[in-house]
Amino acid sequence: MRPRTSPEPAKPFRLVKYFSLSSLVLIFIGTCVLSLLNTHWIRSMQLSKSEEYALLLIDNLNHQVFMQFILPVGLQFGKIELRNSEQFDLMDRVVRSTLHSFKVDMVNIYGVRDVIAYSFSRDLVGLENLGGATFQNALDGQASSKLVQTGGFWELFLGVPKEIKIITFAPLRAEQPLSMLSGPVLGVVEIVQDLSDDYKSIFRFQVMILLTISGVMLLIFLTMIFVVKRGEGFIQKRAQEQLKLKEQLSRAKHLSSLGEMVAGVSHEIRNPLGIISSSAELLQKKTAPNDPLYRLPAIIIEESSRLNDIITDFLNYAKPKAPNNYACRIEDVIDKNIRFLATQANAGGYRMHTSFDRDLPVIQADADMLYQAFLNIFINAMQAMPEGGDIAIRAKAANNSLWIAVEDQGSGISPEAMEKIWDPFFTTKDKGTGLGLGIVRNIIEAHQGQVRIENRPEGGARVSIRLPVKQESL
């Protein structure tokens, strides 16, 4: 048997699936890159704001130092000497009161010779040459900042260093009263701000964005996988249906050709068969009962009758007639079958039990054709139980249909036979044409019904038939 292959139309859907998956990956990568760029922009903006914040603090500190320290000390002492503890304490009070509640880690005030004259940390007072290029820029009147980061390689790579500080240098100028112009540079102010917490908050925000993006993309991915699976299943189902329809069409064409051939051959056989049968009957009448040859015409007549039945089966299968529908009751059809088979059933030990729902609907059908179909089913059920047994027949109405089930207590149908059970001329019996079930299906399908055969869990086979209930128009 050649294996079934999926038809080619499924390939475009695979291309759509791969394109969708690749697009989703590209969107995810692009979104992550956009998130990283957005984080970089936030950090740059944070750095710029911190620098502006430091310059504002320095302007305010410059004013307070000049007004509350330089002028009073100059008037009182004549000169400024921060080595004097009284002057240093006054400077410390002015600076700390000015920067109180502001986020500043360290303040250093340099003299014009790059010597620290004042610091939050007294250990730094007096140290020289720590300002570097930024000190020189501030001494020239230009404020500038630099970023200092400490931490391991991965901490710096991920943008969350162990410690990150911005150091801002700006000139300390003398102020001219009642003038918008600044005076000469008296020194340099250095303000250190710790941005570690701010950068960690930005990193947590970045992680939250990436997790959100990943979650949304995962949800979209799972949804797409679900849709793709459903689509593949739907397309596979449609492909199998198309393949099945093609096989049915091919089978129908084959059976049509076979039917035409069988019908032609059957007609050609039936004519000489009729002559043989009538000649045997005439010969039997002219032969004396005590003649040794008297049994020969009877055998010829019997075999001719059996051959005629086979030809009739061929014709019924090859060219099924259209049903002549009229109002009938299925229980009457089955009762007629049971009465016809009563003698055979009693002789073979068969017991036929019926169970019909009350008020079964009247159906529009050809009672003679249904009689033939059920006759074949009952005969098959008897042949499945050579030693006799029970045959259960049930009928009920549901969903605008009439459902009939016939169950036997035989050995059931093997899996190999189940695959070929509807094939014409297939039979497991020593005698028979193998067309009985095919005729049954033709008759039921001619009535727009369905027939199914299956094995019962408790043993035996079940034939299930559905016939539509057509409402008569008033």
Note whether 283 and 306 are same-domain residues.
yes
Range of the domain at 91: 10-194
DSSP per-residue letters across 180-211: SSEEEEEEEEEEEEE-HHHHHHHHHHHHHHHH
Q: Are residues 285 and 258 in the same domain?
A: yes
Q: What is the CATH number of the domain that holds 133?
A: 3.30.450.20
pLDDT of residue 337: 92
Q: Say if residue 346 is in the same domain as residue 365.
A: yes
Whether residue 314 sits in one domain with residue 334: no
Q: By percentage, how much of the chain surpasses pLDDT 70?
A: 84
Same domain flag for 181 and 243:
no
- From CA 161, how far away is CA 196, in angstroms rounded? 7
If you average pLDDT over each of 39-43, 246-250, 277-281, 448-452, which comes out highest?
448-452
pLDDT of residue 183: 72
Give the total number of structural domains in the chain.
Answer: 3
Extract the tokens encoding 357. 């729902």
Position 412 pLDDT exceeds 50 = yes
What confidence score (pLDDT) does residue 434 get? 61
Tell me the pLDDT band of 335, cut-offs 50, 70 and 90: very high
Taking the C-alpha atoms of residue 77 and residue 70, their distance in angstroms, rounded to an integer, is 10
Of 263, 296, 319, which one is at a domain's C-terminal end? 319
pLDDT band at 12 (very low <50, low <70, confident <90, very high): low
128 with 117, same domain: the answer is yes
CA dihedral 15, 21, 22, 27 (to 10 degrees): 140
Looking at the structure, tell me whether residues 314 and 326 fall in a common domain.
no
Boundary (domain end) residue, out of 302, 319, 336 = 319
Residues 308 and 349 occupy one common structural domain: no
What tens digit of pLDDT does each residue of 69-108 get?
888 888 887 788 888 888 888 988 999 998 888 888 889 9
Mean pLDDT of the chain: 81
Query: Closest Cα partner for 401 from 455, 471, 343, 454?
Result: 471
Cα distance between residue 395 and residue 405, in whole Å: 7
Lookup: tokens for 78: 């004549």
Q: How far is CA 379 from the centre of its chain?
A: 49
Over range 360-376, report the average pLDDT.
89
Whether the CB-CB separation of 447 and 321 falls below 8 Å is answered with no
Assigned token pair, 316: 């019924």
Q: What is the pLDDT of residues 47-65, one digit of tens each?
A: 888 888 888 888 888 888 8
Q: Are residues 32 and 144 in the same domain?
A: yes
**What's the pLDDT at 358?**
85
Q: Among residues 319, 343, 372, which one ends one of the domains?
A: 319
For 277-303, the pLDDT digits (tens) are 787 777 777 777 777 776 777 788 777
Which one has a higher pLDDT value, 343 or 7?
Answer: 343
pLDDT in tens, 205-239: 878 888 888 888 888 878 877 877 787 778 888 88
CA dihedral sign, ordered 178, 179, 184, 186: positive
Note whether 299 and 377 are same-domain residues.
Answer: no
Which pLDDT score is estimated for 473? 38
Q: What is the pLDDT of residues 114-149, one digit of tens each?
A: 888 898 888 888 888 888 888 888 888 888 888 888
Burial tier of 243 (Cβ tally within 10 Å: 0-12, 13-18, 19+):
middle
Do 27 and 147 belong together in one domain? yes
Same domain, 79 and 133: yes
